[in-house]
Structure 1
Amino acid sequence: VKYPGLLQPLEVPSQSWQVITMDFIEGLPRSASFDCILVIVDKFSKFAHFFTPETPLYCLWSGSAFHGTYS
């Protein structure tokens, strides 16, 4: 059995939007047909974008929103 080693931290990015994180916050009370939030955070500047995709299509929506916004 090979045990995993120590955690390896990510390198510090040298510019904005070089390294990002994405996360969904789900299970929120429904408001205007939305019940989840997509959060995208730039690891360099800590700037965050918040999107409100509709639940049934959030996977498809998040991919197209991400591609349209950050490409």
Structure 2
Amino acid sequence: MTHKSHRYQRAHQRVDKSRLYSLEEAVEVVKSMESVNFDETVECAVQLGIDPRHSDQQVRGAIALPHGTGQSRT
């Protein structure tokens, strides 16, 4: 078994795996675990419970990222 760092172990103790967190609570927990000097990435998976074969249940949309995509226009 591999050794986990002290930072990882402290972060792991802050999360109760048997509990379901609301989105706001989960964001607060993740923000409280910041431990590095760069912007960390957080992935989120959401199960919407829709059937994509039905046209009335498709999810479409666009968002504007606050700092863009990092690509410059030429």
Q: Same fold (TM over 0.5)?
A: no
TM (normalized to structure 1)? Answer: 0.27
TM (normalized to structure 2)? Answer: 0.26
* Larger helix proportion of the pair: 2
Higher RCO, Cα 8 Å, sep 6+:
1
* Larger strand proportion of the pair: 1
